[in-house]
Amino acid sequence: MRTLDSLGPLGSKTVIVRCDLNVPLATDASGAKTITDDGRIRASLTTIRELRDAGARIVPISHLGRPDGAPDERYSLRPVAERMAELLGAEVGFVDETVGEAATAAVAALEDGDVVLLENLRFNPGETSKDDAERRGFAAALAELGDAFVSDGFGVVHRKQASVYDLAQLLPSAAGRLVAAELEVLERLTEKAERPYAVVLGGSKVSDKLGVIAHLIERVDTLLIGGGMVFTFLAAQGHAVGSSLLEKDQLDTVRGYLRTASERGVTIVLPTDIVVAAGFAADAAHEVVPANAIETSSFGATGLGLDIGPESAAAFAKVIAESKTVFWNGPMGVFEMAAFAEGTRTVARALTETEGFTVVGGGDSAAAVRALGFADDAFGHISTGGGASLEYLEGKSLPGLEVLA
């Protein structure tokens, strides 16, 4: 894979940097937007700082949310430009279009070391188009703005999109420091993992993790299953799960995983207790019951599981403590609600305390550890791309990396 060094001296050159600045935003009563987790902005700064130090003229580009190919103020990157300037300690210009006269003029006015962020790429339908010509056309318009392209948005390298795939073919291109670091971690997980190797999977649905479970079950020592997906596993074992999230169409698949794990000597650890609630609400009445007897709670068949129980959390923590490599993707429960956050908190704390190499696999997991007060540097690595990480671990080829080979 081509790295930043392959581009040669970049002084006075205009470098387009594909970042992943898709950060969560909260809007208050006045309409003002606040970034609730700036982790992805921080992660983009290593490459941007290096380019500034080299005297390049930098044009970060990114998407935010899913605006469906048209301008939508709810998804503007303007708050990101403001936060990036604060973190960078330097002015960051902002252009409220992706390509066009204003963007061309703003880029032309850059001096060495200057930074200007363009508006949300997904405001242009060409960014995500399935039509190769339309996508290529948008990429060509972006390419007119720069002399070189740096791919540093790891969270999108699994997407065949204009700013990820096509643009890399139109300009001298290379991976940025973030993408290179993410790839190094993933290679360590797949090719050089020290054992015992444990993978902790959570999140809502088994169907979101089918590929990664199938791929990892041949490569790890232990799979720990939490989150909403656990109820499909419990149901596959014949247990009633009340009103908990259940994917009935995945029951046979899960039974197959359980058989394969048994045949290969891989341990699948399921919760032994569950926090069951009367409803999906922060203030819902709740209690802890055995995982194989969910409908014995006070709420009967209407109760729904929203977190793994304390006994399970302690068991998961013990496995993590005894492992040399741990990959975690997906919260253990509805961590956004305090009453159902303890399972996720316990797993996160265990990852910070083990002496093994720990990787938090982006997405909701990364948001959870920050929301629960854990520092990024308490973990071996926090990925900026949950979907990209999972697809890599599934053994899939990623278009945004292939194009940089």
- Displacement of CA 153 from its chain's centroid (Å): 11
Would you say 91 is a known binding-site residue? no
**Other beta carbons less than 10 A from residue 32's beta carbon:** 9
Would you say 155 is a known binding-site residue? no
Of 77, 39, 46, 14, the residue nearest 155 (C-alpha): 39
Sheet holding 286-290, edge to edge: 286-290, 273-277, 304-308
Would you say 110 is a known binding-site residue? no
Would you say 74 is a known binding-site residue? no
Reduced to 3 DSSP states, what percent helix, strand and coil does the chain have, rounded to the nearest 5?
45, 15, 40
**Out of 33, 205, 349, 396, which one is annotated catalytic?**
205
The reply to whether 2 belongs to the active site is no
Would you say 30 is a known binding-site residue? no
Beta-bridged to residue 148, according to DSSP, are 15
Q: Name the E strands within 154-203.
A: 173-175, 197-201
Would you say 38 is a known binding-site residue? no
Would you say 5 is a known binding-site residue? no
Tokens of 349: 């704390």
Would you say 249 is a known binding-site residue? no
Would you say 363 is a known binding-site residue? yes
**Out of 69, 100, 113, 387, which one is annotated catalytic?**
387
**Out of 13, 18, 39, 40, which one is annotated catalytic?**
40
Beta-carbon contacts of residue 30 (< 8 Å; ≥ 6 apart): none
- Displacement of CA 334 from its chain's centroid (Å): 17
**Out of 363, 380, 385, 386, which one is annotated catalytic?**
363
Would you say 65 is a known binding-site residue? yes
Would you say 227 is a known binding-site residue? no
Helices (H) and strands (E) in the chain, counts: 14, 17
Tokens of 165: 């795939």
Would you say 362 is a known binding-site residue? yes
Would you say 336 is a known binding-site residue? yes
The reply to whether 205 belongs to the active site is yes
The reply to whether 33 belongs to the active site is no
The reply to whether 202 belongs to the active site is no
Tokens of 222: 């232990």
Residue numbering of the annotated binding site for ATP: 209, 305, 336, 362-365
Residue numbering of the annotated binding site: 20-22, 40, 63-66, 122, 159, 209, 305, 336, 362-365
Residue numbering of the annotated binding site for substrate: 20-22, 40, 63-66, 122, 159
Residues labelled catalytic:
40, 205, 363, 387
